[in-house]
Amino acid sequence: AQTVTQSQPEMSVQEAETVTLSCTYDTSENNYYLFWYKQPPSRQMILVIRQEAYKQQNATENRFSVNFQKAAKSFSLKISDSQLGDTAMYFCASPLYNNDMRFGAGTRLTVKP
């Protein structure tokens, strides 16, 4: 079965600093997708970044980037120049073949002023 693991329940970072959230996964698929979602206090799930497994280049979206290590099945999220609005729960996720998304347990990130 496909699983997603986030081993950091909580993290904090100073405003303007950089923080990295970890995620590992297990899959038997060769082609798949990986996602990071953000859930702020409003609880709306917001897509942060997406990675296609067959692409070697790490995805980037403005201040957000990933370190995708396919062989190690690792998919970490780096947030640069952290802002107060980045405070949220962050979920790593990957869909099964039918888009059935599997989520990690989440990491609660607090950005401190």
Partner 1 sequence: GAVVSQHPSRVICKSGTSVKIECRSLDFQATTMFWYRQFPKKSLMLMATSNEGSKATYEQGVEKDKFLINHASLTLSTLTVTSAHPEDSSFYICSAGASVNWGGQFFGPGTRLTVL
Q: Residue 65: enclosing H or E segment and its boundaries?
A: strand 64-69
**Angstrom distances, CA of residue 4 to CA of 41, 42, 44, 88, 95:** 23, 24, 21, 19, 10
Closer residue to partner 1 (CB): 11 or 45? 45
Residue 98 touches partner 1, criterion: CB under 8 A? yes
Instruction: Check binding of 101 to partner 1 (CB under 8 A).
Output: yes
What distance in Å separates the CA atoms of residue 96 and residue 10, rounded to the nearest whole number? 27
User: Is residue 33 at the binding interface for partner 1, with CB under 8 A as the rule?
Assistant: yes
Least separation in angstroms between CB 25 and partner 1: 14
Q: Is 95 helix (H, G, I), strand (E, B) or coil?
A: strand
Q: Residues binding partner 1: what is the number (CB under 8 A)?
A: 23
Q: Judged by CB under 8 A, does residue 13 bind partner 1? A: no
In whole angstroms, what is the distance from residue 59 CA to residue 93 CA?
A: 15
Chain residues binding partner 1 by CB under 8 A are: 32-33, 35, 37, 42-45, 47, 50, 52, 91, 95, 98-106, 108
